[in-house]
Amino acid sequence: MSRIWESNTDRQIEESNEKRFREKVDREKQDVETQRTRAFATVMSEKGRREMAEHAARSQEPQHARASKNDASTLQRILERSPKEGAEFARRAALARASNLSLDRTRKKDAEAAQASTLDRAEAVEQDRERQVGIVEDDVRERDEGDVLKSEDRTEEKQTELRNDRVDADGSGQNQRRHGRQDQSSDDGRRSAPETQGVGSVRGPRKGAAPAAIPRAVLDALVKQISEAVTPDGRSSLKLELKGSGLDGVTLTIAAHDGRIQCQFEGCNDRTRKILEQGRARLAQGLAHRGLKLERLTTTG
């Protein structure tokens, strides 16, 4: 089921990416065509205005020459009649030029602000798209990792059951052979009695030597606490009080440097130490999925 779901999810992601790419290409083509049309219309309108201006200038050149002469003579008479009026005209002309210059600067600033706003909106849309894609990819990756770890847990449980069954089978075979020797001779039976007790003492530790491993939920919570505590602010060391599933009373001291993690578990008994040693590989794997490396794991009483 996980493979079918993974293939469907990958297909949906690919189709979504292809759809976005096609839409982007269509928008770019449409923008290019729009810009080309506007540029052509602008060029043609400028050409038409220029031709009309040249035609009007050629047709009205004599009248313009006479008007300019009349204006020049009128201005000369005004200046001769009142110098103050000439100064006022010059002042007004200077004000008009300054006002036009200010308007040009304002228009330029407005155009630059509009262009910057357009670029910001496009960048925000692109960042939002990348964030959404990242969320989907993280979700898919976490589910894949969960499936892999679950399969590993099932494999470990099966291997533990096989080891326990093998130990039980070996012990029963030894007992049968020893009972056979007891039937042959009472002396041999007396000598074999201590041996049977010795085997029983060996079987006892073998069955108890496989303590319960760290539960999946506790291991995930431990990996999450380590990654959240180390990666955001770059702290080099911290302490955590562990609780749950046989880890009560254990203090975890973490030292981190450049993504390399050193874990020291304090307050461990023999059972807790064995549990942590068995969970070393899974803890290292969980940290590796979050970009961290378990460099050393030590336990103290």
What is the distance between the alpha carbons of residues 261 and 283, in angstroms, rounded to a whole number? 11
CA pair distance 185, 267, nearest whole angstrom: 53
CA 177 – CA 185 distance, rounded (Å):
13
Instruction: List the single range of 84-93, 128-137, 183-192, 283-292 with lowest mean pLDDT.
Output: 183-192
Give pLDDT, residue 36. 87
Q: Give the per-residue pLDDT at 84.
A: 64
d(CA 91, CA 85): 10
What SS3 state is found at 248?
A: coil
pLDDT in tens, 97-107: 888 888 888 88
Which is more confidently placed, 82 or 32?
32
- Confirm if 260 and 295 have CB atoms less than 8 A apart: yes
Q: Using CA atoms, how far apart are residues 282 and 149, in angstroms rounded to an integer? A: 8
174 near 199, Cβ under 8 Å? yes
Check: pTM over 0.75? Answer yes or no.
no
Residue from 208, 204, 274, 262 nearest 237 by CA: 262
Q: Is the Cβ–Cβ distance between 206 and 167 less than 8 Å?
A: yes
Q: Are 287 and 227 in contact (CB under 8 A)?
A: yes
Q: What is the pLDDT of residues 172-195, one digit of tens each?
A: 544 444 545 444 444 444 444 433
